[in-house]
């Protein structure tokens, strides 16, 4: 299992980064934890690489 941390200062930038990561078909997403502060948006994704 691996983790990926994603951060962005804007909601639209955050959405774009999350969607790009989720659309990667070589990963099986196990869980995503989200947080938001007055300064930025953040997420930690736990995933497994899918063997092809």
Domain count, the chain: 1
Residue 11 has a CB neighbour count (10 Å cut-off) of: 10
Higher pLDDT, 25 or 33: 33
Domain residues for the domain of 44 are 2-49
Q: pLDDT value at position 52?
A: 66
16 has a pLDDT exceeding 90: yes
**What share of the chain has pLDDT > 70, as a percent?**
98
pTM of this structure: 0.80
Q: Quick check: 29 and 43 in contact, CB under 8 A?
A: no
Q: pLDDT value at position 26?
A: 86
Token reading at 19: 């969607």
């Amino acid at each position: 299992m691996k983790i990926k941390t994603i951060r962005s200062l804007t909601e639209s930038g955050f959405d774009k980064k999350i969607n790009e990561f989720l659309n990667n078909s070589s990963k099986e997403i196990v869980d995503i934890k989200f947080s938001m502060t007055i300064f930025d948006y953040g997420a930690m994704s736990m995933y497994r690489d899918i063997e092809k």
